[in-house]
Amino acid sequence: MNASTLAVETQNSEPAPFPIYPLRPSEVQYFLKTCDAPIAAFITAQGFAGLERKIVLIPGNDGIAGALLGIGDDQTHLPFGILSSALPPNTHWTLLPGSYDAEQAALAIMRGAYQYERFKPRAQAPARIVVPHATSRSVVLAKAIYDARDLINTPANLLGPAELADAGAELALRFSAKTERITGRALDDGYPALAAVGAGSARHPQMLRFQWGDDPALPLISLCGKGVCFDTGGYDIKPSSAMLRMKKDMGGAAIALGVAQAVMALNLPVRLDVRIGCVENSVSGHAMRPLDVLKTRAGLMVEVGNTDAEGRLVLADLLTDAVSAKPDWLIDFATLTGAARVALGPDIPALFSNCDHLANALLASGRATHDPLWRLPLWVGYDSWLDSTIADCNTVGSKPMAGAIVAALFLNRFVPKNVSWAHIDTYAWNDVSRPGQPEGGEAQSLLATVSAIECLCHEARH
């Protein structure tokens, strides 16, 4: 979706004809006192009390005179996300001042206006809403979220490893970043674990890297994303119910690209070093098998305990490559484990980190942007669960517990202690539609990560 189609206009736009009054429960009675008696009676008759998600259209001589939006006591601003779908299509509105943050309200409206339109365009244009005092920053962030969602929502038959790498290369080109694309023999030799994951597919694996910014005085942020475009589970094949949404298994790569897009579009004073591993985990005579032993880029030999634990193999090679540049922050994104969802549910990505400063920055930014994360421990007591009798380690734990922690501990073996690293295990999906969060692909942790990078920039300047 192009930025021009985003549903919100900033203060530079022409004012819209219909006003929207955003009200909290404590503000309703005062507002009613400012209305003409018939309008106040109409609003009261509708039972409007300022509760979340409640909208009342105010009648006027020409049809509509305005609208009331109940935002409750919610501080996330997500209640604003219902506006584009709840207001009549092809209408223009302006959001009046109130007890809300204009930037966050504008972003919530745009997040709620999203729709994947590649195959089924909208029948009518959504309502267009002007948010006075909002800036272009909200549009930049919304565009990054839209593009990440579009990638995640694209069917796997149309988004294979090459197409995902294409999307990253096109993004890099847009911002004049230096691009490197590795395939074939070079991938087999340089990223052997990543290559092994994709060996079972006729759609060959790829690794895309791009670098943005060249001032060595600026902080270096390295981003890595798991880009498994479809995950059958390999020979340890998933049941059909678990395979149904596996087009989203490249959600980590989509989020990494979304974070990079926002950072570059905002022109933050950092350098970026981005890697996405683009593969498909399929079943064939060339696919890796349970108990195969694979070489990694780091030189460690790993035993394949389960072919459905493929994402950690992709990330192992990416992380090994990334640490060589000695980044100030190294952050990876991956739809890595079902265990993280069992622990935290679909809405809260699990955060693991070897650095309290980095972890705290992400957690604080998640709270500030209402993009939550929850830190789980890199509990070294479970590290021995990865022991193998024939290789340096196994890819999965020997016990059927703490799967998200064990996966993070596996990745931890490929990151030196002197590199500040965070691993985000995300669901990257909304199971149902909610205000600002339509059903489908979701760029979870994007806002938290961009905000944390902005905080790092502030620290670097001071």
3-state class (DSSP) for residue 366 = helix
Longest dimension (CA), the chain: 82
What is the bridge-based pairing of β-strands 271-281 and 206-212? antiparallel
Task: Please give the structure tokens belonging to residue 383.
Answer: 């590290």
Catalytic entry in 111, 247, 312, 413: 312
The Cα 56–Cα 342 span in angstroms is: 39
Q: Check the CA dihedral 294-296-299-303 and report its sign.
A: negative
What is the bridge-based pairing of β-strands 178-182 and 206-212? antiparallel
The Cα 312–Cα 305 span in angstroms is: 12
Q: Rg for the chain (alpha carbons), in Å? A: 24
Beta strand spans in 36-106 (E): 55-60, 63-70, 92-95
Is 312 tagged catalytic?
yes
Beta bridge partners of residue 70, listed in sequence order: 23
Is 238 tagged catalytic?
yes
Task: Please give the structure tokens belonging to residue 160.
Answer: 């294979």
The Cα 289–Cα 390 span in angstroms is: 15
Catalytic entry in 137, 238, 375, 434: 238
Which residues have a catalytic role annotated?
Answer: 238, 312
